[in-house]
Structures are given as C-alpha cells and as structure tokens.
Amino acid sequence: MKSLREYIKEAGEKGVAIGHFNISNLEALHGIYQAAKKLNVPVIIGLSEGEEDFVGREEAVGMIREIREKENFPIFLNADHHYSFERVKASIDSGFDTVIFDGANLSFEENVKVTKQCVDYAHEVMKNNSPAGERDILVEAELGYIGSGSNIKDTIPEGAGILTKVADAKNFVEQTGVDMLAPSVGSIHGLIKSGKPHIDSALVAEIKNTVGIPLVLHGGSGLRDEDFTNAISAGISIIHINTEIRLAYDEALKKSLADNPNETTPYKILEPAVEAIEKIVESRLKLFNNLK
C-alpha cells in the first residue's frame, strides 16, 4: 500500500483533498470508515489531546493499523493539535502516522523552535527504524491562530482569524523543515453561529506556490461547498472536519434515546449516531474527492 505521503502527493496531482475526521469513540471510527470504504477513498482519523486521552493512544494505533493491514484499506492516524513536544513525541513513539505540533498561539520564534524539535525527532525515529524506511512519519505545524475547540461558538474568538502572511509561511517552512503546513486562510475552529468567513483561496495559492509543501485546511465545519472546492483547486491537500461530526452524533443520540426510552442495548441506541456520522462524512468525502 502507498504511504500517506504518497496519497497526499497523489491527491495534489488529482486536484482533490483527503478528508480528516476526528473521533472520540469507536462508533465514530465505524461511521467514518464505512463512508470512506463505500467511496473507496483514503481517509485520516484525527485525535486531539483530549480525544486521544479518552480513546487511548495505543488502542487507537492498534485499531487503525488493524483496519489498514487486515482490510488493506488506506486509513491513517493523526495526532491532531498537540501542544507540546512531549505530547507529539508520545504519539510518534506509539506509532501515529502523522502528528501536528500546534504552536499557533506561541510567538513565531517559539513556534519554530518546538516545531523543529518535533521534525528532528520524527526524522531520528524514521532513521533508526528497522528495517530502514519502513516507518514514515509526517509532521504538520500551524501558523496563524484560528481559534480552538470543535464546538459551537457565538462569534469568532478574540485574536483568531488573522491571515498568515506569505513571507512568514516561507520563513517558517525553511526554518523548520516541516512536512505540511496549516496556515490561517479564513476558517475558524468550530461552528460559528453568525457564519464563517470565506476562505481566501488566492492566499492559499500564493502560500502553496511559495512553500511548495502540502497545505492543510483546519476548521472545516460550516464552510460553504465552494470554499472547499476553491481551496482544493488553490492547493489544499487535507481538510479537517470535527464539529459537524460531533453535532450529528449528539443530535442522533439524543433523538434515539428520546424515541426509545425503554431500550437498554448500547449498540441499538447508538446505531443512528453511527449512521449520522457516516452520512455527513460521506457527503464531505464526495465533495473533497470530486465524486458524484
């Protein structure tokens, strides 16, 4: 099977993006995997620090590897928004395929310093892996604060949404050697009640042409379809969605409990929640992969 690095390159060549979806439990993994399998497209499962603590770091690695190897399906695991070198290291050590050091809220210099530390560590692990070349680890970094938390927000959080400057992106990538970059290009984490700003796809294209590495779009929930398609055409290779999945799960679960007050079997109660996740992921994957 191709590596995630190769799938990302292929996505760029095809003018599509790989969907990245967060999970907090096994049901979400099932819903996401079913959707990706149905469409036969690669997919990335994300775990933020909180999600990782809840699911279990080693357990998550085990589940994803099992599906990938036994089912021969391109599903990969990302340590999403990890805020320290120690947390990134722990995820690398456990076997994650890709990791994100999120220093968006730090000074430029501090962000460069810790990102570089993460990149160096990933390279060291890859070099010392035996047989050599068997393990590939991608390191992503964030430049430009787009708020935090995949939740429902009344307004754009204070200090978020200042767009990344092309020159900063260039310096950052040169100084860190990072594999992928998530710039601030208009999206905000979470669902904003007053609506999200448009994605500045001209800026995406300028950053992409300048840095030359894959770009990642965070804060995908609630964006308009044309924002996604324009962003992909401009050079986005991976798109993150979380809040929409959480909301779909939450609504379906609450309805299932209300409709079946005497039901006590978890897999029966939870089935509509899995289906709701599958539905939303399927529609996003179709859009990202240009499928009808």
Give min distance, CB of 106 to Zn ion, in A.
16
Residue 24, binding choice from ligand G3H, Zn ion, none, Cβ under 5 to 8 Å by partner class: none
8 Å CB contact between 156 and 130: no
One of 80, 97, 102, 179 is an active-site residue; which one? 80
Q: Does 241 bind ligand G3H (CB under 6 A)?
A: yes
8 Å CB contact between 202 and 233: no
Stretch 19-58: interaction string toward ligand G3H, x if CB under 6 A = ---x-----------------------x------------
Among residues 170 and 198, whose Cβ is nearest to ligand G3H?
198
Q: Which part of the chain contacts ligand G3H (CB under 6 A), choosing from 7-15, 117-125, 168-176, 241-249?
A: 241-249
- The strand pairing partners of 142, in sequence order, are 182
Give min distance, CB of 260 to ligand G3H, in A.
29
Q: Does 57 bind Zn ion (CB under 5 A)?
A: no
HEC secondary structure over the chain = CCCHHHHHHHHHHHCCCEEEEECCCHHHHHHHHHHHHHHCCCEEEEECHHHHHHHCHHHHHHHHHHHHHHCCCCEEEEEEEECCHHHHHHHHHHCCCEEEECCCCCCHHHHHHHHHHHHHHHHHHHHHCCCCCCCCCEEEEEECCCCCCCCEECCCCCCCCCCCCHHHHHHHHHHHCCCEEEECCCCCCCEECCCCCCCCHHHHHHHHHHHCCCEEECCCCCCCHHHHHHHHHHCEEEEEECHHHHHHHHHHHHHHHHHCCCCCCHHHHHHHHHHHHHHHHHHHHHHHCCCC
Q: Which part of the chain contacts ligand G3H (CB under 6 A), choosing from 32-40, 109-117, 217-225, 263-271?
A: 217-225
Q: Out of 186, 214, 220, 272, which residue is the one contacting ligand G3H (CB under 6 A)?
A: 220
State both tokens at 198. 């448009």
Size of the site for ligand G3H (CB under 6 A): 16
Q: Does 150 bind ligand G3H (CB under 6 A)?
A: yes
Residue 80 annotated to the active site: yes
Q: Out of 42, 144, 186, 219, which residue is the one contacting ligand G3H (CB under 6 A)?
A: 219
Give min distance, CB of 181 to Zn ion, in A.
13
Q: Using CB under 5 A, which residues numbered 197 to 236 contact Zn ion?
A: 218
Among residues 150 and 256, whose Cβ is nearest to ligand G3H?
150
By annotation, the residues acting in catalysis are 80
Which residues of the chain form contacts with Zn ion (CB under 5 A)? 218, 240
List of residues contacting ligand G3H (CB under 6 A): 22, 46, 80-81, 150, 189-190, 218-221, 240-244
